[in-house]
Structure 1
């Protein structure tokens, strides 16, 4: 690797609260990993936090099912287990979660968040004790993607005294999971070690048999040193290590509608060699110091390396997959090869990519008060570098009596051979002034990014540079914003904000006539919160007024896979978010609880000018002013009802995803049907999924749990991307045990 990567520093506006680990020695653990935590009702913007108690009741290893309980979150399912979520916030594109800021414990987690942000790696959700979603003007501190918002995953924390946890479960489709962690806090040294494994045979049914599941192994360790309670300056140093490996028998290829109706769980014979091989390693050092009573500084140095090679069928019988899916009658012979009924040629493409992301991030917070006026300054900086080294290699197989036999091994890089580099400096300053119930929070963020794109061409396996085409681009931007929050004495508050949102433009094009500009939007928000007597309500209206919205070309979204971004001009995304929760037995003198919760999102997203689309996720051709932006679901609704006693709890969750347009346009929605060709479909039907979970505590140590996912066994088309129709997981059962010791 010829590029020099510097270790960086980003700033995070954490509220840092000293934590008493034992009566004899206080330790400086100041919540450096959370964005909002329990302070969701205090920020000048819409934020939600789901903690460990709620996650324990849900028993959901699939983050998609958890995030759908939060308004403003749009998700497209893919493989059914939530291993690679497609998440959008407030109308941002969902594909590979590439347009939101993804973090674990306050550190960017996408494999290359600037150079190649598609999140093919996503942390194992089983080892998370909480998840936070931040939207609105208070996200100035959490870039680089600040149009929609940020998602922060909170990993298992170091316990305050010796503690351990073990979980074991088995379920449908050969799915099984094991999790163990143990930790302790001593006078100067604390630790937690965690091991996770999850595996499944998969719920899809491969022609002629075969495994369609996965196996994922995940290790995490946190080691922390801290000063004695008598030290004049309190400080701590924590090292965190994560190592993950995954083998997934997953495919990009879905089904024709006729085959979906016959068996929605079918997988074609041509996908029998499809395999995802992924490895991820991460290390970080977090230093926390309180030089004075009113100043706290967090500094994190981090490094991660991610390798992913996703091999999959590319063309069949000389025809593209989309041609075959669009007209299986016209391309009858390639279709029969795809299903293993005829012999023929299959081109198979592996996409090996190595990502490096590293940096140093630091935040200083200074708080003081003048009488009734409280002040808090937060200043941060991040120096970051990341790289994506991409090889795509096409080989040839012969489908012979339903079995794929390797004919010709392609030369490495014969389809893609490039390096993408990005270096960035980000900084911000945020000021909170609070008087009685009013808080005003102005702030400004600055981003400076250098992109370097090197395309060696498909014939230069050794990267000697004979056909090298390269391009560079440097951009900088200032992003101001301000938020307001007024807290009434009755437990309610109003919040509002305006800020300039931003997304990086991606790699520069070697064709200087088609450069992508930065994506910017002026974002407005107005909301109301109420939290009193067990009733929690949050309502928000938002408007994202794009000065330039970017489209992209990703194979995972039905494009060619170049990763290029292109300008789409003005666009408007607006909507309403509503969430409410209430325990109907809150006022009763009883141990019984009957919690009810709802979350609703309405989103309207449209292009505001006519332009010729450059291809990729939105297709090609003319997009007309007023056309709706695809893959943004207008209506999302989740409702849950629970019943709890001192030893038992159960939770029923219903998730409704409304009809979703899959192509830009206006007017009538055309959904998959018997007499509708694949290429004429412009939308997917809405669907409802119901999940049920229960926990029973036998002793203080041992708890049994069970889940039923998709209780009504609803067969819904959840996506028609990347290629063909894809099903949701059918009804599935899980039984397990948890032990706290």
Structure 2
């Protein structure tokens, strides 16, 4: 099932041999009690229920247990029950998720700040915020931290919708090996996708921990022309040279080779929604990424952290030139991109205990991005090759921020004013014509967060932040004096525990976009004309009935109202912003068994700014229908030969509901979502 992965597997087993006794599963007393240091100077802190309960904004953490219990294999599965979050998967295999938050556009996740262990995974976090390569596999993830409010001062750029931080598996204190296999079977087409995972790691001694993870995905989704190959190798190091210093290093190599089934016309969709009519569409990408983080803790409570990261990435889409999914193409186009990005961010926090207790956090960051941007084409009849674009982009980005938390009423009331400074210098060169263009962005972004623990059962919060999305590389190719898109973010809410086993979360939000960049024409290019408004509420209710030990019930409802407030479509709703989202989660644990049922409802939405109701012939525009999707999984834990075994059987889209969204980029039409899929999972820990 794993093709071309011999070298990677050999490296994994070399590490097993290299670390004495790593696979023996024996506890070392010195490492069994070792506790990992937590960066409290980081604004979000650890993704734990305790931290979330006092965060001055809407925030959800998807825990390791929830990921396992629900059988989440993709980002779409994992985020399905997070209020206000919408995910489209254009590949059908999970490699290209599109994430939207609070009605912001989900396409290419271009309006969400996505991090892995606090480091941006976007190919160019300032100049090209779209995630056209998503170098992440869920088996390597321990938890997901989704902070939708109260973060813009400390995290940026592109922070209008908040932050999604994927937290990878920590190095275990006990020397451990994990083997996991997930088979996704599509009954209607007999296609199978294999998701193979191996992890080996632990502490060699009191001070040094090592870990290596390998994730290999091969096979097909339910649709034709969906062959997928993914290799994800991650190496981690934790070193504690002293009792108050820790150093964390990580290195990742990610590669993907995929056929893309693409969108369908309404007619083709009705004939067979699992077919593909775009034989030329495919995608390749690879990235080598590394990070090194130094943390130091002082006796007076002060903390210093210095994060350094870099990546070199390539990605390329191949596609036919026919816009209608049923038409034959005469050209095979491709869009190769090469990215080189590196950054450095020191951060320091300390307390002032004279008079009013305060905690001051100061941070700064420098980031450099270099991008080669090419568009070319090959004539399928003559094999003639041509280059339509050969562009070079670069930027220098500087950010600095400071916040001051005031602790009042025995630390029950916390007020945190702060401000962020962003300076971005974009440069463009057309290698074909020699034309050059530049664009500077300088912004002050103030914010204030308030959290008040009125009683043990009631926590109130509110915040205001100014956010920005920088001018994008391709937007400066037309010239003109564009400015960054800015937004004012308002949020207020509460967390309430009226009973020990009942929890209520409520948040109201409003996002007022100003200065949105809109495309005017080929002659004019982009100009800052756009205004838009997003507002709504997010609610969540949790209940663990005392009468049924082990039962966990949860439901959430999100209402979103959007409006375009300028331009040609003033007064219309924004595209891909569904009014209603309903989540449901039921989990029952009994002895070594676990039963899980989760569901998602999304109401209808528009696919374009004109709010077109009647679908056109190609299916590129028109309303996107509402849908329900239900997933279920049963998991059993047992021991065999003194080894822990976890076996699971799941059904995704158990009622085989047919639903779709509209295509992304070059693939226009109905993009079918996966039908009923069976999941078989087996994991061994030893």
- Of 113, 120, 130 in structure 2, the residue corresponding to residue 108 of structure 1 is 120
1: CA distance between counterparts of 2:96 and 2:563?
A: 27
Taking structure 1 as the reference length, the TM-score comes to 0.82
Q: Structure 1 pair 32/250, CA: closer, same or farther in 2 (3 Å)?
A: farther
Deviation per residue, 1:154-187 (Å, 9 max, x gap): 0111112222222112231211111111211222
Encode CA deviations 1:59-84: one digit per residue, 9 max, x unaligned: 21111122121112132332223312
Match of 1:329 in 2: none
1:447-458 aligned at under 5 Å gives the runs 447-457=422-432
Report the alpha carbon displacement of residue 274 of structure 1 after superposing the two structures with TM.
2.5
Q: Please say if 1:647 is aligned against 2:595.
A: no
Match of 2:560?
603
Question: Is 1:265 aligned to residue 274 of structure 2?
Answer: yes
1:639-718 matches, cutoff 5 A: 639-665=584-610, 670=613, 672=615, 677-678=617-618, 681-699=621-639, 701-718=644-661
Given the superposition, is the C-alpha separation of residues 289 and 637 from structure 1 closer, same or farther in structure 2, using an over 3 Å criterion?
same
1:90 aligns with 2:102: yes
The reply on whether 1:410 has 2:352 as its aligned counterpart is no
The match for 2:364 is 381
Query: Per the alignment, in what secondary structure is the counterpart of residue 152 of structure 2?
Result: helix
1:106 deviation in Å?
Answer: 0.4
CA contact (8 A) 2:577 2:605 kept: yes
How many residues end up aligned between the 2 structures?
A: 638
What does 1:504-583 correspond to in 2, within 5 Å? Answer: 504-507=470-473, 509-513=476-480, 515-531=481-497, 533-551=500-518, 566-583=527-544
What does residue 738 of structure 1 align with?
683
Give secondary structure in 1 for the equivalent of 2:81.
coil
Q: Which of residues 67, 76, 82 is equivalent to 1:64?
A: 76
Aligned to 1:51: 63
- CA positional deviation for 1:659: 0.2
User: Structure 1 residues 264 and 96, CA, compared in 2 at 3 Å: closer, same or farther?
Assistant: same
What whole-Å deviation, never above 9, does each CA across 1:487-540 have from its counterpart, x for those lacking one? 122412111111112111113534434x43211111111101124513222111
Which residue of 256, 272, 281 maps to 2:288?
281
2:19 corresponds in structure 1 to none
Q: Distance in 2 between matches of 1:191 and 1:117?
A: 32
Q: How does 1:497-508 map to 2 (within 5 A)?
A: 497-507=463-473
SS at match of 2:613: coil
Per the TM alignment, residue 422 of structure 1 is displaced from its structure 2 partner at its CA by: 1.6
1:396: how far off?
A: 1.5
* Paired residues of 2:583 and 2:601 also in contact (CA < 8 A): yes
| Partner Cα separation in structure 2 for residue 72 and residue 121 of structure 1 | 23
Q: How far has the Cα of 1:145 moved from its partner?
A: 1.3
CA displacement at 1:679 relative to structure 2: 7.0
Q: In structure 2, what is the equivalent of residue 197 of structure 1? A: 216
Change (3 A) 1:731 1:680: closer
Mapped to 2, the partners of 1:626 and 1:257 lie a distance apart of 29
Distance 2:620 2:234 in 1: 47
Q: Deviations over 1:602-639 (max 9, x none)?
A: 11111112x2xxxxxxxxxx32x211111111111111
1:570 deviates by 2.0
- Please tell me whether the aligned partners of residues 224 and 239 of structure 1 are also in contact (alpha carbons under 8 angstroms): yes
Task: Specify the SS of the correspondent of 1:512.
Answer: coil
What is the alpha-carbon distance in structure 2 between the residues aligned to residue 573 and residue 44 of structure 1? 20
Shift of 1:126: 2.2
Tell me, in whole angstroms, the C-alpha distance in 1 between the residues paired with 2:482 and 2:366: 24
Whole-angstrom distance in 2 between the partners of 1:377 and 1:543: 28
Going from structure 1 to structure 2, the CA distance change for 1:27 and 1:262 (only over 3 Å counts) comes to: closer
TM-score w.r.t. the length of structure 2 is: 0.88
Distance 1:650 1:180 in 2: 25
Q: Which runs of 5+ in 1 are unaligned?
A: 1-19, 206-210, 316-320, 326-334, 339-344, 399-406, 458-466, 554-558, 612-621
Q: Which residue of 1 aligns with 2:141?
A: 128
Partner of 2:441: 475
Q: For 1:519 and 1:159, how far apart are their aligned partners in 2? A: 43
Matching residue of 1:489? 455
Q: Distance in 2 between matches of 1:655 and 1:95?
A: 20
State yes or no: 1:78 paired with 2:75: no
CA distance in 1, matches of 2:644, 2:358: 45
How far did residue 310 of structure 1 move?
A: 1.3
- Closer/same/farther in 2, CA of residues 664 and 450 from structure 1, 3 Å limit: same
Deviations 1:443-485 (CA, angstroms, capped at 9, x unpaired) = 111100000011223xxxxxxxxx1111011121110010111
Please give the per-residue CA displacement for 1:399-445, whole angstroms capped at 9, x wherever unaligned: xxxxxxxx31414xx12211111210111111212223211111111
- CA shift, 1:652, in A, is 0.9
Partner of 2:579: 634
CA distance in 2 between counterparts of 1:718 and 1:681 reads 10
Match of 1:239 in 2: 249
Return the offset for 1:303: 0.8
Partner of 1:443: 418
State the Cα distance separating 1:214 from its structure 2 match: 0.4
Counterpart for residue 260 of structure 2 = 250
For structure 2, which runs of at least 5 residues remain unmatched after alignment? 1-28, 186-190
- How far apart are 1:199 and its partner, in Å? 1.7
